[in-house]
Each structure stands twice: as C-alpha cells, then as structure tokens.
Amino acid sequence: MSSLLHRPRLDADGLVRALRARLPQVGPQRATTAAGVEVIGVSVARDRVREVWDEWRGRHGETGWWPFVTLLSPDALARSSRHSGVDAAALEDLMAEVLRQDHDARAASVVVSALRWSAWEDSGEDREEWCDDYDPDRLAPRLGPQLAEPLPGVSRWGCGDRDVFRGRNRRWLNFVAVRGGHEVPVVLPYVIGTGNWCGYGDRFLTPADDAALLRRWHEQWGAGLFLAQGAYLELVVDRPPLDPRGAAQAATELMGYCRDTVQAPRSAGDGMVRSSVWSLWWD
C-alpha cells in the first residue's frame, strides 16, 4: 500500500547536498520522528534567516521540502514528546483526513465554533458585539478604505528588531517533505501549540484544523508558514487583503483561530491582516 505522505522531488541526501553547496559554513543535521518523518535542518544567523527562508521557499517546487523557522534542532524536534506519541499508522490516518477534507468548510467550522462559544460566554449587548466582530459583512463597513499597497510586515517571533527571541542569535531552518506549508503541522503534529484555545465547548483544535486554515490562507492571500515554535506562529503573506471586505474576512478567521492575538478584529483588519507578516501567539 502506497503512503499518502508527500514524496519530494529531491531525496533527503540530495537536499543535504544542496544545502551544503549553498550554505557551506553550516553542516545540515538530520533526525527522524517516531512516525518516520525525516527532518533536515541548518543553523542560520537570526538576521539572515528570512533571506535564507525566502530562497528555499522559492525552491519548494524544485525540492518538495518546505522550510520553516524554529528554535529547535531537528533532533530536539524529533525527540519532542508531542511527536513521539504519533506512530506511522496514526500519521497516515491523519494525512488521509487532511487530504479528503473540504478545507474551506473546515476552516469555517473553526470560526463558527469560536463564535458560538463567545456568544455562549456573553449575553445581551456583548453577544451582539461578538456577532459584529465575527461577521465580515458587518465588520467591513467599520474598517478603513482600500490600501494601495500592503503595510510593512514586522516579524515578532522569527527575526527583526522586535523579535522576542532576539537574545538567541541563531535560528534553525528545518525542512520536511510536504506538499505545502499547511502540511507541516500534519507531519509534525502539534508543532503549533494552540495553548488554551483547547476548545470552545467540546470543540478542540487539531492538526487537521491547522492545515485547513493554513491552506485556505495560502490560497486566498499567499500566506506561507514561516515560523512554528510551540505557542508562536508566523506567516509571510504575499498578497494580504487590502480592501475592507477581504480584510474583514481575514480578521474574523484569524480571531476564530487565535483569539489570544486577535482580540480586536477591527484593529487587526486595519493593521496586521493588511501587512505582509501575520504573527500569532496563544497564551
């Protein structure tokens, strides 16, 4: 029986050779998770990691390996207790679920669950305000006019002057064989730690939920997974929504996914979602 996991154009040895040729000053490291997923990584200076990530993301179609930034080496990532509990059979089942799901419908279900929970928590005027926040058609008229170009993106977690991990001068650029960045949390389950999202009522976020939203945002706005570090997630967005309706849609979906970061969709709709970097964090 053939595997549902992605088969890259370049095998692991080929990727290692390509990394050594392009980054001769750093030796690639390799590790394998309990489910048999190979992780290949290189240590990169913090001030260069975006540049190097851009290059290798651009080569994804050529290699079949998606790069993402983290503080964990391949070995530390593979040995993580979160990943050690997932065997090959469980991973195949998870990938089958992801491949057959309607990712737009699943993404919408996350937002609906968040709205229902918020409405259950609050009552009266507060409940009506939540409905305004979660309905793009009601939110859009409250946002600013269309922008001519994206706002400058500021990395809060991966690199740059506002990077909260700037005390650590190097980052790991790890590679996994996937069809796109949306499959990273599938082959490395719970590489994104959604913290106390933990569920609106009886609804719990799963790697399939992460994959659905990440794929939707990639298709809609060119969002690519840049950093995954536990409770921290960062996306580089090639075509952020610049019009009020698109910004409202993105803001409501981001609020449904990560209310710890997007607590005020109006501010997010006029700010972060119209920029080239989306930084999310779960408390």
Q: Where are the domains of the chain?
A: 12-281
Share of the chain above pLDDT 90, in %: 71
User: Residue 278: beta bridge partners?
Assistant: 235
Lowest mean pLDDT among 51-60, 232-241, 259-268: 259-268
pLDDT tens readout for residues 17-36: 999 999 998 899 999 999 99
Q: For position 107, what pLDDT does the model report?
A: 93
Look at residue 197 and tell me whether its pLDDT is greater than 50.
no
Confidence of residue 80 (pLDDT cuts 50, 70, 90): confident
Give dist(CA 80, CA 90) in Å, integer: 16
The answer to whether 230 touches 193, Cβ cutoff 8 Å, is: yes
Give dist(CA 276, CA 278) in Å, integer: 7
pLDDT tens readout for residues 218-233: 999 999 999 999 899 9
Highest averaged pLDDT of the listed ranges 44-58, 67-81, 105-119, 126-140: 44-58
Q: Rounded to whole angstroms, what are the CA distances from 262 to 86, 124, 132, 269?
A: 31, 22, 14, 9
User: Residue 236: beta bridge partners?
Assistant: 224, 277
Look at residue 200 and tell me whether its pLDDT is greater than 60.
no
Q: For position 160, what pLDDT does the model report?
A: 80
Residue that the structure tokens 């279900």 belong to:
109
Question: What is the chain's mean pLDDT, rounded?
Answer: 89
The answer to whether 69 touches 49, Cβ cutoff 8 Å, is: yes
pLDDT tens readout for residues 40-78: 999 999 999 999 999 999 999 999 999 999 999 999 999
